[in-house]
Structure 1
């Protein structure tokens, strides 16, 4: 479990989340917004923002937009520069010894 979410939660993102009951309506809207931002941003209009505002305030929409944009930019940056997207981060095993774990971004 990571950030209070199960692996099952993450596993369903690529499997038509708009039809998955595992996500709330708010989460499905955020996923739809992220997908459209990444794949079809020219067609994001008032209709989507009206639906977003039923579950998010303006500050949350701004934060969601910034997070989506940052991750999209990071993905493009790593692809263009041919960088690795994962690295070994220091971790701690249950017995207190240090271990290496695979992590993202903060390398």
Structure 2
């Protein structure tokens, strides 16, 4: 992945032009699932369905969930404090 694009993730609102609408929908979904999964509303769901089929949404959710798990696991065990 391009370094500029990785840096842009820290300030998505200022760098929207670097992402496709599909990518922005996935990023919004990832943020909401990570911070408060119960807040996935019909508007976001409709947006996701306009860019992804059901299988892709399941895959996206799985990847988001797995990375959340890995981060929490590492944090709890203080794995990054070597």
Same-fold status (TM-score > 0.5): yes
Query: Which ranges in structure 2 are unaligned for 5 or more consecutive residues?
Result: none
Q: 1:36 to 1:18 in 2, by over 3 A?
A: farther
**Which residue of structure 2 lines up, in the alignment, with residue 26 of structure 1?**
22
Find the counterpart in structure 2 of residue 13 from structure 1: 9
Post-superposition, which runs of at least 4 consecutive aligned residues in structure 1 deviate over 6 A? none
Can you give the 5+ residue segments of structure 1 that lack an aligned partner in the other structure?
Answer: 86-107
Task: Determine which structure has greater relative contact order: mean sequence separation of CA pairs < 8 Å that are 6+ residues apart, divided by chain length.
Answer: 2
How far has the Cα of 1:43 moved from its partner?
Answer: 1.1
Instruction: Tell me if 1:52 matches 2:73.
Output: no
Residue number in structure 2 paired with 1:91: none
The structure in which a higher percent of residues are helix is: 2
1:45-99 residue CA offsets vs partner (Å, 9 max, x unmatched): 22211110000000000000000000001000000011128xxxxxxxxxxxxxx
Give the number of the structure whose residues are more often strand, by fraction: 1
Superposition CA RMSD, Å: 1.7
